[in-house]
Structure 1
């Protein structure tokens, strides 16, 4: 039988949309049905439901985001999935802005960048910790296999840039844009005292700088493959925010840059560049972690939040 963590899961009004999205697909409901009887791996679910493994993985990720499913790593580091509860309780909103909080959320694999500029040392590995192409060869960053990357890195200065669709319909206002990633500095092997200044740009506007203190390798990353022996194990989960009155990195105010300055348009992509500038005080590279590496089971996340009702403006 599946190990249920709670008989009932309570969700505040701000989580209703997450839960509703997770429950809105037939396949996800079928997954919950199967997991209600016993825990299963991704491959077992694929066989049981007659669906390709990548499709199962995507739908499991949506259920995980809603905290309806939790996952652990099995003996072969394959994801083992279980339901978290038997019953859910949704708290309906009681005041303006309480229910409609997160408008949209887009997850982007780290290997799906649109452009890059890196030099050796550099490289990338898949979820099993196996090298994609040749290590320290920048040409790897142009190979189609890069889409399978779960960890990528470069030393010194450089960047990777991603194009996100703007999912917010014309005329719908939002109050905050957030970008979340797990990352750290890049040293040969690893180095616990190796600071690097990592800057986020949105549509070429400087949002803010993370001064990461380390290339972390003092312990095994919670998700990092046992086959990986490259030194770097995990990173810092970092959130950049742009609001109507300023920009922030992990709640620390960076500048007066506002949403209006980003020139966001519904029919144009949102360009997000993660960069170690050549003129940075600490120009010591970057490691970027995907959902199967490091400590946090997610890819890059771009979220759109609405704090107030658009009709009140």
Structure 2
């Protein structure tokens, strides 16, 4: 990952101004740790470690997941990045595109199908789209301009352009996006089981820990007062299985999706009413949250 040294990337740059955070990165280079293990290794309280982990997670350097432990749930923390390059001159970041990869960004409002239940709604960077908690407005022609959408249960589905030609086939599929749970207003402790599917095949279910709104998202418009940002997650399907932020979630391999030239790809994000944690979905585009990107899809040949 390359990062321009600019004020827009202070969330990332500030992560390395703390000895504690750097020591945490050193530890997680060896293996994943839970909050308690990091606290014990560094001789600090769990509350302090949690604050540092939140900064690293918001910067996209660390990934976390809630797992069942002997004394309730525990948060497992692991490195999300293998390397990070600081770019001092913007011209140094200019590279030729990888000829073995096909990448497309899907605006969050350009879904092709949906089924949602309140609380729900859509917003562009300038205003609300339609009325709150009325699923009918997901059909509003203005939905394509949405940079934020949310729903308590149901799904949104996107058509991924397939630019494969001839005998080309996919060796990997990567989808990165910013999302979180959906609670009325917001609730930082609001778990939600969010399922990702491609072409009707469920690939992974990730439990988001909350709906984040206690502080403003870096790119969230000043007029917006509810959910502020999400967590940046990367879903990867390879020959070895399906992963989220490098952690394997299922054995489904890229070959099982049978991605070929001329075949439509359908990507669905859902929260089922039957889920253990039916906590909804909030999905962020480049105009909201902490990451200036839409849903980014990369197919590797």
After the TM superposition, which segments of 4 or more aligned residues of structure 1 sit over 4 Å from their partners? 89-92, 99-102
- CA RMSD of superposed structures (Å): 2.3
Q: In the alignment, what sits opposite 1:121?
A: 119
C-alpha contact (below 8 Å) 1:132/1:149 kept by paired residues: yes
TM-score scaled by length of structure 1: 0.65
Q: 1:104 to 1:189 in 2, by over 3 A?
A: same
User: Is the Cα–Cα contact under 8 Å of residues 107 and 285 in structure 2 kept in the other structure?
Assistant: yes
Structure 1 runs not aligned, ≥5 long: 7-82, 93-98, 307-313
Q: Deviations over 1:64-118 (max 9, x none)?
A: xxxxxxxxxxxxxxxxxxx9737548899xxxxxx95751101010111000000
The match for 2:245 is 250
Is 1:85 the counterpart of 2:89 in the alignment? yes
8 Å Cα contact 2:167-2:261 kept in structure 1: no
Task: Give the TM-score, by structure 2 length.
Answer: 0.68
Give 1:133's aligned residue.
130
Match of 1:263?
258
2:110 match: 112
The within-5 A match list for 1:1-313 is 85=89, 87-88=91-92, 100=98, 103-128=101-126, 130-155=127-152, 157-229=153-225, 231-306=226-301
CA distance in 2, matches of 1:108, 1:102: 20
Asked which structure has the greater CA Rg, the reply is 1
* Stretches of structure 2 lacking an aligned partner (at least 5 in a row): 7-86
Question: Does the 8 Å contact 2:164/2:262 carry over to 1?
Answer: no
1:24 aligned partner = none
Residues 105 and 304, structure 1, Cα contact 8 Å, conserved in 2: yes
How many angstroms does 1:305 deviate by? 2.2
CA positional deviation for 1:161: 0.2
SS in 2 for 1:293: coil
Q: Is the 8 A contact 1:101 1:305 kept in 2?
A: no
Kept after mapping to 1: 8 A contact 2:286/2:292: yes
Q: Secondary structure at the match of 1:121?
A: strand
Change (3 A) 1:86 1:256: closer
Which deviations, in whole Å up to 9, do the C-alpha atoms of 1:10-33 show, x marking residues without a partner? xxxxxxxxxxxxxxxxxxxxxxxx
Question: Residues 103, 134 of structure 1: CA spacing in aligned structure 2 closer, same or farther, 3 A cutoff?
Answer: same
Match of 2:45 in 1: none
Distance 2:113 2:224 in 1: 26
SS across alignment from 2:104: strand
**Could you give the per-residue CA deviations for residues 226-272 of structure 1, whole angstroms, max 9, x where no partner exists?**
0112x200000111110012101111101110111112231121000
How far apart in 2 are the matches of 1:203 and 1:281? 24
Contact 1:183 1:286 in 2 (8 A): yes
Q: Distance in 1 between matches of 2:125 and 2:93?
A: 35
